Structure 1
Amino acid sequence: MDVDSSPRQIMSMEDSLKENTEKDRMEEEDPFSKEMPHQDAMKVIKEGIEEAIGDDPLLCDLPTDVTPEEVSLQVALEYGQAMLVNVCREDGEVMPIVVLQGASVLDLKKAIARYISLKFNREGITKSVSWRFVWRRYWLSFGGHNLTQDNKLIKDYGIKNKDPVTFVKRLKGKGAGY
């Protein structure tokens, strides 16, 4: 420091040193101020989400790698804005599919495809499903009636919350729709 420095300059330098020291102390206390690798940050976020979901009675049934869409559908289900449709496969597996109250048959089919896709991803299965093939070979059926019109609302078929819908093999032959 210069001998000729004025008291103002000295005070200014002291203030600057104090600010820098405070800034350093704040960075040490704040875990988010330091940079971390992307995977570490994702791990911290995932652990936080798991903790929040596990503690919430509304969301505790959801998987740990939940998507935002699954959360919003679960909340809508709790508020009565959505319904649960139990889709039964031929092998006996029951798939709990959540759709909004005003869903069409096409919306239900898309929800089934989304459910299977998420299930495969979570189980590490790399197999893909040709949904065009599935819907050409099978109907969805409720109460002995096939859900033949994609644009028709599922509630128009009489489907209510927690009702079972099954896959039924389409019959081959004239008028089978191919």
Structure 2
Amino acid sequence: MQFFVKHLYLIAPILAIAAVVGGYFFLKSKIKPVPHVEIKHEEIVFDAEEYLRSLKAKNKPFNQQGVHLLLLKRTRQKEGVYLESLLPAMDSAGIEVVHCFHKVMGDDYVPVITSGNDYPYHAKNSKHYMNAALDFRIVNLPMNKRRELVEMAQLRLGYRFRVLWEKGEAEHLHVELLE
């Protein structure tokens, strides 16, 4: 009995440790694993002749959705890129940038869009969160072609857009709609 009285001060820490360990295992048993979902990407091939035939057959101009679909067909998108809420002006700007890529790299080149409104690490007031900005991959282009592309895109888009060559670890071409 004297042993228990002598070591009575150890009961509180032992009970606290037991409660923490018990709580940990209780919470761990409630956590469900995140299911693995495989996203199947369709390879969309743009055929200029088919596109021209469809224009002649329909004989009507592009609507907003048509321009958006054309942007999606003329580019590839990095996995996870969200482009569905883009402003219509950004769809048109994207088509212009694709044209610049073709002028600089040739008609067979397919540009890659690396960000729309999807990346949580843009600056707080980034135009990406307003669906008014796109990023294009340029890290795989030769240095002189990158410069030519940036200059040509800024000329083609004019005063309504800002074209930035963002250098660094994730080098890309940033295109945003100005106010």
TM-score, structure 2 normalization: 0.33
Structure possessing the higher radius of gyration over alpha carbons: 1
TM-score, structure 1 normalization: 0.33
